[in-house]
Structure formats: C-alpha cells, structure tokens
Chain A
Amino acid sequence: MTERKRCLPFVRIAIFGLCLLLIAARAGEEYELVRASVRFICINCLGLSG
C-alpha cells in the first residue's frame, strides 16, 4: 500500500472534522442569511426591472 493510500482515511477525517467545525461555527445565523438570499429576487442581477 502506498503512503498516499495509507494517509487517505486520515485526510478524509481531517477534512470532515474541519468542515463540521466551520458549519457549527456560524450555521444558525448564516443559514438564515442564505435563506433570505434565496427568497429575495435580485432583479438587478437578472437584468429585470419593475
């Protein structure tokens, strides 16, 4: 087994842990911000006016 293959499970666990930490850090407030952006239609971005 190559060195790279041996390290892969640990790399995956490290990425998984880091991602969970990032999500846990601000998930509540940022989720609501993102949700607001989905609900809001940016007519300026789409080139619409009205």
Chain B
Amino acid sequence: MMKLGNLRLATQFLAIIIVNLGFTQTLKTGALCPAFFCYGCPWAAFACPIGTLQNFTAVGMFPYYAIGTLGLFGLTLGRFWCGWICPFGTVQDLILRVRRRGDLLNLPPVPWTKYLALIAIMVTAWLTADAFFCKLCPSGSLFAAIPHRFVSSEFDFGTFFYVHLITLAVAIILFVLVGRFWCRYLCPLGAIFGLFNNVSILKVKLDMTKCTECKQCLSNCPVNFKEIKDIGRSSDCIQCGKCISECPTNAIYISTSLKN
C-alpha cells in the first residue's frame, strides 16, 4: 500500500495539473478553486477564492455563491485542502524537503494573524474598490505574473511586476526559515478553512485512549505544533497527516465519520 506521505505528494502534483487545465477559454470555468491559486495564471481553470471575494467586495456585492462554495469546501475537508491540494502549500513543502531540517526561526503559533490578514485584505478591497491584494500576492507572482512574462510575449514589465518579484523573494526567504510560514501566519484562505477544522467531515483525529503522550508525532510537524491537543483541531493544522506516520501507537488517524 502507498505510504501516506507519497500519497499526499501524488495528490499535490495531481492538483497542480488539474488547476492548470484551463489552457483554452472553454476550459476556464467559474468554479472556485479550493486552494490559494491565482486565476491570473495563463492556464488557470478555476477562480481564486480570495480574488473573487475581493472583486465582489470592491463592487459592493455580497458574494453568495463564493461564500456558499467555500462553506461546502470547508465542511467537507477543512484544511485538508491546504495540506493535500494547495499548489502554494506544495511549493512550501518542496522547500522544506530541500531544507531537510527543523525551522531555522522558532516562531510561536499565532492563529489570529491570518484572520487579521483576511480582514485587512477585504477592507483594502472595499476602500480602494480594487482587488489590491492581488498586486502583492506572492502566489500571483509565482503562478501568474512570472509565467505570463514568458508565455505572453505581448506584455511588458510594469511597476507591480517588480513588487510581485519582491513579495515572492521575501516569501521564499520566510519559507526557508519557517515551515509553511504562509499557511500558519498569513493565508486568508487558510483562515476561512481553519474555521471548519473542528466540524469538517474528513479530519485528522487523535485517539487519547491509545496516546502515550510521547510527542513523537510533533517531531516532524510542518506547522511546528508543541501541544498534542492541537493536532487536527487548531485552525493552524493543515491536516497533512505527517503525525500519523510518526505515531508509534497508531493513535492518530484520518476520520471520515459523518456523525462525530
């Protein structure tokens, strides 16, 4: 049977292919992407949820469809989307694989910063009547601005292209220093999905009757949890399942129960 880590990696790469299937106008859908992936990407098949929320906020419309869809995404998988699907998360995981060490900067968990980021992004969109965050977004830099520069020869550099390069460079430095920095501290979509971590149908669960509290599960945690109680429950938990492979007593598992 395929190891959980390999299965996750395969899912992440499959997700990168699927979100990039919009290489013709017909294949570009109006469905929301359940991950932080820029719809400015030349081959994007789905809409960025944060870009969509900003666009609706900017024009003063309530995003019924976007909020309903995000609710369904959150209810089904919570932050599984972050750990198993998100292309920007995959980039951070790849950097972690290259680095092969624990966090170089030991930052404490601060779950509210991503909510602050989400609020700031929406308030800015409303005040500027524009999707202003898109001009700074490091995911947009990596998946849209840079590819467009090479794919679409009719475009030239503008001021915000250099801003994109700077934000991406800063982001990559932070990813090298701190594992999954974006997901832990800044991701506005992670903030939304994090709200559902306690109610999502698919989730990582800890069976306290089997747990010996050896904390072996925390040794390889990409979000650097220090407490066992945070596994699967904290809004920071990206449900990657690395703790499942580490647990010597099989106390951690993926629950798919509809009841509890």
Contact = CB atoms under 8 A, between A and B. Distances in A.
Contact of A47 (B42, B154, B161): B161
A34 to B, nearest CB: 4
A13 B29 CA distance: 28
A15 B29 CA distance: 25
Output the residue of A16, A26, A31, A46 with the most chain B CB within 10 A.
Answer: A46
A5 B157 CA distance: 55
B23 interface: no
A45 B161 contact: no
B201 interface: yes
Given A1-B260, A30-B30, 11 more contacts: A15-B71, A19-B68, A23-B69, A30-B65, A31-B65, A32-B30, A45-B131, A45-B134, A47-B157, A47-B161, A48-B145
Closest 10 CB pairs of A and B: A35-B30, A47-B160, A47-B161, A22-B68, A19-B71, A23-B68, A30-B65, A45-B134, A48-B155, A50-B155
Contacts of A42: 40, 131, 134
21 contacts: A8-B199, A8-B259, A9-B258, A18-B68, A19-B68, A19-B71, A23-B72, A26-B64, A30-B65, A33-B30, A37-B47, A37-B55, A38-B22, A41-B42, A45-B131, A45-B135, A45-B140, A48-B149, A48-B157, A49-B155, A50-B155
Nearest to B70: A19
A46 B162 CA distance: 10
Contacts, number: 142
Interface of B: 22, 25, 28-32, 39-40, 42, 44-47, 51-52, 55, 63-69, 71-72, 75, 131, 134-135, 140, 144-145, 148-149, 152, 154-164, 199, 201, 258-260
Contacts of A12: 75, 199, 201, 258
B81 to A, nearest CB: 15
Interface of A: 1, 5, 8-9, 11-12, 15-16, 18-27, 30-39, 41-50
A33 B63 CA distance: 11
Contact of A27 (B42, B65, B131, B258): B65
A37 to B, nearest CB: 6
